[in-house]
Amino acid sequence: MAILQVKQVSKLFGPHAEQGLELLEQGFSKARLAKEKNITVGVNRVSFDIQQGEIFVIMGLSGSGKSTLVRLLNRLIEPTSGEILIHGKDLRKMNKEQLREVRRKKISMVFQKFALFPHRTVIDNVEYGLEIQKVDKKLRRDKAMTALELVGLKGWEDKMPHELSGGMQQRVGLARALANDPEILLMDEAFSALDPLIRRDMQDELIELQDKMKKTIVFITHDLDEALRIGDRIALMKDGAVVQIGTPEEILTQPANDYVERFVEDVDLSKVLTAAHVMRRPETITPDRGPRVALELMRERGISNLFVIDRTKKMLGVITAEDASDAMRNNRKLEDILVTDGPKVGPDTLLNELFEITSLSKVPLAVVDDNGRLLGVIVRGAVLGALAGESKSEEVKQDA
C-alpha cells in the first residue's frame, strides 16, 4: 500500500477560499480567481500516491505551488480541501497532539536554507527532534552521533552552524531530519542553495543514503536535471496543479502536453537515457551448433555477427561472419573462434558513456545483467538514433 496518499488536495489563499474551491470546480482559471475574487490558488486539486521507499520528486518553476504542496504534507500549512493519508490515516482529521506525534515520529523535513538553529551546536541541532520528545540524554546523543556519522560529519559535532560551509550545513540539516528515524523525509529544495558541484555530490550521497536506509523521500526542486538524477518518479507542477506524474523516462519520452514538452526540450537525453532504452533483441546461437549454422543464421538475418549464449542465457562471447567462414573451411568449432573480450555494459549505463565504447568497437555492444546474462545488444546507430528522436520532435514543433 502507498505510504502517503494525496487525494484532491487544494490550498487557496484569500478571504473567501471556500468559495474559490467551488469556482475552481466550475472551471474558473487561477488567473481569473486572482483577478476577480482576490483568491490565490496555491495548490489545485492535486492527487498522487507515494510508495514506500521511493524518491518522489515534485518539480515545478517558482510559483508553481510545490513548496506549498510539501508543507501541506505535514500540515505546516492547512489544506483547504482534500485528504492526506499517511498509512491510511487522514492527517487533516488529526488533533494537535496526534499531528505533533506524526511530525515527531513519521515525517521529518529538510529546508532550502538549512534552517539550522544558530544558537545551538551541530550536535544540539541534530538532537533537537529527540530533545523535544524528551528522549533520554545519552540515548539521543548516541542517535544524533549516528546520524551525523551517516552524513559524514563526525568530528564536527561541537562546532556552531555558521562555522560550517553551506554543503556541510545542509548535511547537518539532513542529519537532524534522520535522527528522528522518520519514515518519510520531506526535502524542500534541499540542495538549491548549494554550489553546482556540491549539489551534485549531495545528490549522489542522497541516492547512496537512500540505498542504505530505504526511507520514503519527497523531494521538491525547480531543477529538472536534479529531478531526473534522483527521482524514481516525478510529478511536474504548473499553476498549482500536477501536469504529469511518471518516471524520468516517461516524462522525457512521453510528455503529457506542450508544457511538459517545452520543459524537457533542452534536456540532454544522453545523460538520462540508458543502455536499456536503446538495446535491441540480440541474435543468438548456442555453442553446440557448428559454424555452418551460424553463417546461415547471419545470412538469413542480414547481420555480420552473432552472440553466443548458453542455456541459461549467460553470454559466452561473440562470433563474426568472417571468422565463421574461416572456421567452416578449416573445420573448426564455434568455441575456437569465440571473441570473449568484446565490450559489455550494464543496463543502467548512460547513453553518453556509450558513445566512446560503440565507436571503438567493431562488434555490437552487449548489454548484460549482474549475472552475466545477455539482455540485449546495442548497434552503433541505435545510440545516435535515440538522440535523434528528440531533435526530430523539435523540428515538428518548430514547423507548427
Partner 1 sequence: MPKIPLASWIESLVDWMGTYLAGLFDTIAFIIQKVVGFFNYVFMLPHPYLFILILAVLAWFLGRLPLTLFTAIGFLVIDNLGYWSQTMSTLSLVITSALISVLLGVPLGILTAYSKTASRILIPILDFMQTMPAFVYLLPAVTFFSLGVVPGVIASVIFAIPPTIRLTRLGIMQVSGELTEAADAFGSTSAQKLFKVQLPLALPTLMAGINQTIMLSLSMVVIASMIGAQGIGAEVYRAVTQLQIGKGFEAGLAVVILAIVLDRFTQNIFKSKKRGA
Nearer to partner 1 by Cβ, of 76 and 139: the residue is: 76
Residue matched to cell numbers 524520468: 248
By the 8 A CB rule, do 180 and 101 touch? no
Following DSSP, what letter does each residue of 147-159 receive, concatenated?
A: HHHHTT-TT-TTS
Residue matched to cell numbers 547481420: 303
Nearer to partner 1 by Cβ, of 107 and 363: the residue is: 107
In the window 120-139, what residues touch partner 1 (CB under 8 A)? 128-129, 131-133
Binder to partner 1 among 7, 92, 113, 200 (CB under 8 A)?
Answer: 113
Does position 67 bind partner 1 by CB under 8 A?
no
Does position 163 bind partner 1 by CB under 8 A?
no
Does position 193 bind partner 1 by CB under 8 A?
no
Give the Cα separation of 368 and 288 in Å (integer). Answer: 21
Query: Shortest distance, CB of residue 157 to partner 1, whole angstroms?
Result: 17
Which has the closest alpha carbon to 328: 298, 288, 292, 289?
A: 292
Binder to partner 1 among 22, 119, 312, 360 (CB under 8 A)?
Answer: 119
Phi, psi (degrees; rounded to nearest 5) at 390:
-70, -45
By the 8 A CB rule, do 208 and 201 touch? no
Longest dimension (CA), the chain: 90
Does position 115 bind partner 1 by CB under 8 A?
yes
Nearer to partner 1 by Cβ, of 193 and 328: the residue is: 193
Binder to partner 1 among 74, 203, 244, 253 (CB under 8 A)?
Answer: 74
Does position 111 bind partner 1 by CB under 8 A?
yes
Nearer to partner 1 by Cβ, of 169 and 274: the residue is: 169
Binding-site size, partner 1 (CB under 8 A):
25
Torsion angle of C-alpha atoms 69, 71, 77, 82, degrees rounded to 10: 40
The piece of 13-21, 97-105, 210-218, 389-397 that touches partner 1 (CB under 8 A) is 97-105
By the 8 A CB rule, do 308 and 374 touch? no
Binder to partner 1 among 7, 92, 104, 313 (CB under 8 A)?
Answer: 104
Does position 262 bind partner 1 by CB under 8 A?
no
Does position 330 bind partner 1 by CB under 8 A?
no
| Pairing mode of beta strands 184-188, 107-110 | parallel
Which has the closest alpha carbon to 276: 377, 136, 138, 167?
A: 377
* Residues at the interface with partner 1 (CB under 8 A): 74, 76, 100-104, 107-109, 111-113, 115, 117-119, 128-129, 131-133, 176, 180, 186
